Amino acid sequence: MNPTESYHSLATTSLDVEAIRRDFPILQRTVNGHPLVYLDNAATSQKPQVVLDAIVGYYTSVNSNVHRGVHQLSQLSTDAFEAAREAVRRFIRASNDHEIVFTRGTTDSVNLVAGTFIPTFLGPGDEILVTEVEHHSNIVPWQIAAKRVDAVVRAVHVGQDGIVRAEQVAAELTDCTKFVAVTHVSNSLGTVNDVRSIADTVHRAGIPLLVDGAQAVPHMAVDVVALDCDFYCFSGHKMFGPTGIGVLYGKEDWLDRLPPYQGGGGMIDRVTIDGTTFGDLPHKFEAGTPDMSGAVGLQAAVEYMEHVGPDAIEAYEAELVAYTSESLKSVEGLRILGADAPKAGVFSFLVGNAHPFDTGSLLDQLGIAVRTGHHCNQPLMDRLEIPGTVRASLALYNTREDVDRLVDALNKVRVMLI
Contact 158, 186 (CB under 8 A): no
In the chain, count of helices (H) and strands (E)?
14, 17
Report d(CA 260, CA 287) in Å as an integer. Answer: 9
Q: Is the dihedral of CA 382, 385, 388, 391 positive or negative?
A: negative
Q: At what angle do helices 292-308 and 72-92 cross, to 10 degrees?
A: 40
Report d(CA 49, CA 72) in Å as an integer. Answer: 27
Report d(CA 377, CA 391) in Å as an integer. Answer: 12
Report d(CA 411, CA 418) in Å as an integer. Answer: 11
Q: Which residues of 161-187 are buried (b: 16+ CB within 10 A; e: fewer)?
A: ebbbbbebbbeebeeebbbbbbbbbbb
Which of these, 394, 300, 398, 282, lies nearest to 346 by C-alpha position? 394
The backbone torsions φ and ψ at residue 312, rounded to the nearest 5 degrees and listed phi first, read -65, -40
Strand partners, 371: 391
Report d(CA 202, CA 170) in Å as an integer. Answer: 7
Contact 416, 333 (CB under 8 A): no
Which of 176, 229, 233, 376 is catalytic? The answer is 376
Has 176 been annotated as catalytic?
Answer: no
Catalytic residues: 376
